[in-house]
Structure 1
Amino acid sequence: MLSFFRSSTNGFANELRLVFATRNAHSGGNRFVATPPQLSSLESAQETALARAWIAQFRALNIPKSSVELSFSRSSGPGGQNVNKVNTKVTLRCPIDEDWIPLWSKPALKKSPHYVSSSKSIQITSTVHRSQSQNIEECLSKLHALLVEASSSTLKNEPSEAQKKRVEDLTRAANARRRAEKSYRSKIKAERKGSFD
């Protein structure tokens, strides 16, 4: 899979779009375009670049209702007759093994309070709004934010050139200070030896 991608960083996003579009066309086009690269962990710079490109594309997408399981019930608590008559509470369930959920994000998703281990799925509920459609959008946006956060949590940020130079300068200064302290201590020891002779 990784051998398909060019080694240049600029080509990653374009080729990911090509792969996403191809997979969407083969699946009939009825699913949203978000199939991530098959990476179980992000260890190399190339894998991290692929993950970043997918996350950047996924941020711009909305998760459609057809990709998750939705159930509705009546909201509890005060709220007037609307609460007692209309099923406005929305519960969203999404199996963690869906092909559009990145493999590298699954350990972080399993630590989430929304993860249900018995069904191996993410469960999100919303009763914030009085209308069912608004609660559906609330659940979908929460799931989207959760996936972005879980996918980004394992990314390693590369230091900038300024940060690298600063570290080099600090290391050089620390080495010089250590050498000066050692020479000072050796000079004192040499003087002690000379005084006894």
Structure 2
Amino acid sequence: MSLSQRVHARDFLRIFLTRNAHNGSKRPIPLPPPFSTLESAQETASAREWISEFRALDIPKAAVHLSFSRSSGPGGQNVNKVNTKVTLKCPIHEDWIPLWAKPELKRSPYYVSSSQAVQIVSTVHRSQSQNIDECLAKFHALLIEASSSAIKNEPSEAQKKRVEDLMRADGAKRRAEKSHRSSIKASRKRPPE
């Protein structure tokens, strides 16, 4: 796939997600910066900006695959008649999932390696729509956590100075303890006869 085809595919996805947004939201999911790892400060800043923009949005139903089935367990006749169990599946190779978050998503308990997708199931509520909302909310939180875990926070100058002072104090304390032990050992020695 050429670069122009990828750009066209991204534009199509953005338009598609805008038209089919969840909960009436007309804002599309922002496409993440194309970094597989966050090495520079600029890449980290771009990733933080994407996360803050993504945090304010809902994941549209059209961006994931939803399937429905009957829930199991107690609940009377409603369980046997209504498809309230919701299973959300989303391949991790979607354009709107950050590249730097994919290793963390693969370590998630929701990751299914045979289909290379995240799968989330909800049977908590008696309503199918509430279970859909719960699955989407769990997936949203999982994506935020996975994309945030790769970001390394740089210490401030005050924190660096504090660490240096603590290391200097620790070294001085260790030297004082060593000299004290040395003087105790020296006092135990017998003078030569």
TM band (smaller chain): 0.7 to 0.9
| Structure 2 letter corresponding to 1:103 | L
After superposition, residues 1-197 of structure 1 pair within 5 angstroms as 26-27=11-12, 29-31=15-17, 32-174=28-170
Kept after mapping to 1: 8 A contact 2:86/2:122: yes
* In 2: Cα distance, 1:56 partner to 1:24 partner: 24
After superposition, give the CA deviation of every residue in 1:42-94 in whole Å (9 maximum; x if it has no partner).
Answer: 11111111111111111101000000000000000110111111100000000
How many percent identity over aligned positions?
72
Task: Report the CA distance shift for 1:40/1:25 in structure 2 as closer, same or farther (over 3 A).
Answer: closer
* In 1: Cα distance, 2:63 partner to 2:98 partner: 15
* In 1: Cα distance, 2:84 partner to 2:177 partner: 72
1:61 counterpart SS class: coil
1:29 counterpart SS class: helix
**Post-superposition offset of 1:25:** 9.4
| Structure 2 letter corresponding to 1:75 | S
Segments of structure 1 that go 5 or more residues without pairing to the other structure are 1-21, 185-197
Segments of structure 2 that go 5 or more residues without pairing to the other structure are 1-6, 18-27, 181-193
| Structure 2 letter corresponding to 1:133 | S
* In 2: Cα distance, 1:83 partner to 1:121 partner: 28
Normalising to structure 1: TM-score of the pair? Answer: 0.75
Could you tell which deviates more after superposition, 70-79 or 167-176? 167-176
1:30 counterpart SS class: helix
Kept after mapping to 2: 8 A contact 1:24/1:33: no
* In 2: Cα distance, 1:25 partner to 1:144 partner: 20
Could you tell which deviates more after superposition, 119-128 or 47-56? 47-56
Task: Report the CA distance shift for 1:129/1:183 in structure 2 as closer, same or farther (over 3 A).
Answer: closer
1:90 counterpart SS class: strand
Normalising to structure 2: TM-score of the pair? Answer: 0.76
* In 2: Cα distance, 1:114 partner to 1:181 partner: 51
* In 1: Cα distance, 2:178 partner to 2:106 partner: 51
* In 2: Cα distance, 1:57 partner to 1:40 partner: 19
After superposition, give the CA deviation of every residue in 1:144-187 in whole Å (9 maximum; x if it has no partner).
Answer: 00001111111111112321120222344456667889999xxx
| Structure 1 letter corresponding to 2:120 | I
